[in-house]
């Protein structure tokens, strides 16, 4: 029997099942992008690299844009950073927890998990109101600041006075006995996240103390894994549930957006209660980024394509470099330790560190379950992407195959993908092999733009 070219389901999301033979798919540092018209209707495109914008030191505790200025807490130091990356020290913010910010345009409040701060007219101070019992977070709605507090409570500031809390201006989320660990506002709703089994929806009724009432039917039976694992796009709130699944909310109901293999992976992590999340906007697409510091892994969800993928930095594919995110001065910024880096679609390293872009395909099998024999694998991609000088001037892609469900891999083979302008290069891996199933892994470490559009494999039946 002669070899036949068979299309391969190459473009896809990360999905590593408990049964490796069922699916060992990995999509690393590649965006699953879906387009209405084009050569294909889906592609894998390079996640942007990052370049230095402002250099600093210390643990990243968060960034926030207030009155058009970028602020960052590194270690215990609050700094402002101007459009040229120049830093000005504002003051000291005690502790080591990630910080949560909110502002009303005149005052910026900072929640640290132990005490709250406020920045007014460039002056940083600890909020000393004796009625304030600060928790992990602060949020803003209708001229009032809202913070989670002790015993499942939340507190609401006086109107127009972010640092003043009336002694009776509090309420308790009572639908479940768990503790409220995050107050979050979105689309004129207040979400109170419990730490185990509940999330309540409240609205600003304008009457009473505090002037908030619970939305009837707005209680969701899932809590929050980490106070820092919540973010929102223009349409949805996303959060990591205490059960290890990622949910999104548009109004008062939580929708599970996690495939079983990924939620199973999260549930098996040593710790998820330190997870940090943020939202990134690129080319009109929204991405929920979920960083697991203890595990050293980062996952991303493409809202527009309903697809999960992974992010990593350096040749060992360690945890993604960005731990918080902000947009200012017409740029997108991530924080890495004390440094602020600019996300850039034309940069193909992470502040000089290697980015490994990887795709592992679903298993390729015979329809009748027999053995198959391959002679070559053809990758449909943009070629001629080499650089003018340095690493990447003559870029290559690495190919491997697994014949046992992703448990082991063949030796590496390297195929050139074209110097700059060499757009007629055909990327074909010649590899004779016979097996009951074949999984292909490709990797690119050269700092060049990558766009995968599809693939095909030359196969024939090989008996039993």
Q: CA Rg, the chain, in Å?
A: 25
Q: How confident is the model at residue 251 (pLDDT cuts 50, 70, 90)?
A: confident
Structure tokens at 97: 């927890």
**In this prediction, what percent of the chain has a pLDDT beyond 90?**
82
Residue in 244, 463, 297, 443 with CA at minimum distance from that of residue 358: 443
Q: For residue 456, which phi and psi values (nearest 5 degrees)?
A: -145, 160
Tell me which of 322 and 36 has the higher pLDDT.
322
Confidence class of residue 158 from pLDDT cuts 50, 70 and 90? very high
Per-residue DSSP letter, 74:
E
pLDDT, residue 1, reads: 73
Residue 297 CA: distances (Å) to CA of 28, 218, 247, 305, 333: 11, 33, 19, 21, 20
Model pLDDT for residues 435-460, shown as the tens digit of each residue: 999 999 999 999 999 999 999 999 99
Residue 258 DSSP SS3: coil
Q: pLDDT digit string (tens) for 347-397? A: 999 999 999 999 999 999 988 889 999 999 999 999 999 999 999 999 999
Tokens 């943020």 correspond to what residue?
Answer: 278
Cα–Cα dist 228/321, whole Å: 17
**Closest C-alpha to 462, from 70, 121, 4:** 4
Q: In the sheet that 123-126 helps form, which strands lie side by side, from edge to edge? A: 100-103, 107-111, 116-120, 123-126
pTM of the model: 0.95
In this model, does residue 269 exceed pLDDT 90?
Answer: yes
pLDDT value at residue 369: 84
- Tell me the mean pLDDT in the region 12-37: 85
CA nearest to 238, candidates 178, 187, 289, 180: 289
**What are 164's two structure tokens?**
């003043």
Question: In this predicted structure, what is the pLDDT of residue 202?
Answer: 94
DSSP H helical ranges for 277-402: none
Query: What is the rounded average pLDDT of the residues 1-27?
Result: 86
pLDDT reading at 152 higher than 90: no
Is 178's pLDDT higher than 90?
Answer: no
Give the pLDDT mean for 338-345. Answer: 98
Cβ proximity of 371 and 449 under 8 Å: no
pLDDT at 333 over 90: yes
Q: How confident is the prediction for the chain on average, in pLDDT? A: 94
pLDDT of residue 127: 96
pLDDT tens by residue, 82-98: 999 999 999 999 999 99
Listed range (142-146, 357-361, 381-385, 420-424) with the worst mean pLDDT = 420-424
Q: Is the pLDDT of residue 220 over 80?
A: yes
Q: Are strands 116-120 and 123-126 parallel, antiparallel or unpaired?
A: antiparallel
Mean pLDDT calculated for residue range 6-19: 88
Q: Sorting pLDDT into bands at 50, 70 and 90, what band is 21? A: low
Count of residues making up the chain: 464
- 176, 196 contact by CB (below 8 A): yes
**Are the C-beta atoms of 280 and 332 separated by less than 8 Å?**
yes
For the segment 35-44, the average pLDDT, to the nearest whole number, is 79
- In the prediction, which pLDDT does 103 show? 97
DSSP for 393-436 reads SS-EEEEEEESSTTSS-PPPEEEE--STT-TT--EEEEEEEEES
Beta bridge partners of 350: 50, 353
């Amino acid at each position: 029997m002669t070899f036949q070219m068979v299309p391969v389901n190459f473009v896809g999301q990360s999905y590593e099942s408990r049964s490796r033979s069922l699916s060992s798919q990995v999509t690393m540092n590649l965006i699953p992008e879906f387009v209405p018209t084009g050569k294909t209707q889906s592609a894998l495109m390079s996640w942007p690299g990052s370049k230095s914008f402002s250099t600093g030191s210390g643990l990243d505790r968060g960034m926030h844009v207030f009155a058009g200025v970028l602020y960052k807490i590194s270690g215990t130091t609050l700094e402002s950073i101007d459009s040229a990356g120049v830093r000005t020290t504002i003051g000291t913010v005690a502790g080591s927890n990630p910080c949560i910010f909110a502002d009303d345009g005149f005052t910026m409040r900072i929640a640290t998990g132990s005490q709250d701060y406020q920045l007014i007219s460039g002056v940083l101070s600890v909020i000393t109101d004796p009625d304030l019992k600060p928790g992990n977070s602060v949020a803003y709605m209708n001229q009032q600041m809202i913070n989670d507090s002790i015993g499942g409570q939340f507190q609401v500031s006086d109107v127009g006075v972010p640092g003043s809390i009336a002694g009776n201006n509090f309420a308790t989320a009572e639908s479940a006995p768990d503790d409220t660990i995050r107050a979050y506002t979105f689309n004129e709703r207040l979400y109170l996240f419990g730490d185990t089994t509940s999330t309540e929806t409240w609205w600003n009724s304008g009457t009473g103390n505090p002037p908030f009432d619970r939305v009837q039917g707005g209680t969701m039976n899932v809590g929050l894994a980490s106070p820092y694992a919540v973010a929102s796009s223009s349409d949805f709130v996303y959060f990591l549930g205490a059960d290890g699944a990622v949910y999104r909310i548009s109004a008062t109901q939580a929708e599970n957006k996690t495939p079983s293999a990924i939620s199973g992976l999260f549930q098996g992590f040593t710790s998820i209660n330190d997870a940090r999340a943020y939202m990134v906007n690129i080319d009109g697409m929204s991405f929920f980024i979920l960083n697991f510091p203890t595990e050293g892994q980062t996952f991303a969800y493409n809202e527009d394509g309903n697809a999960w993928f992974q992010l990593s930095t350096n040749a060992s594919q360690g945890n993604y470099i960005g731990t918080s995110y902000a947009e200012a001065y017409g740029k997108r910024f991530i924080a890495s330790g004390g440094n602020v880096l600019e996300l850039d679609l034309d940069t193909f390293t992470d502040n000089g560190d290697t980015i490994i872009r990887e795709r592992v395909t679903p298993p390729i099998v015979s329809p009748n379950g027999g053995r198959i024999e391959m002679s070559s694998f053809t990758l449909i991609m943009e070629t001629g992407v080499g650089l003018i000088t340095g690493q990447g001037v003559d870029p290559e892609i690495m190919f491997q195959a697994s014949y046992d469900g992703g448990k082991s891999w063949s030796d590496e083979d390297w195929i050139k993908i074209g110097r700059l302008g060499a757009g007629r290069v055909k990327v074909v891996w010649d590899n004779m092999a016979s097996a009951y199933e074949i999984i292909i892994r490709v990797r690119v470490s050269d700092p060049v733009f990558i766009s995968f559009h599809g693939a095909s494999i030359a196969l024939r039946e090989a008996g039993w």
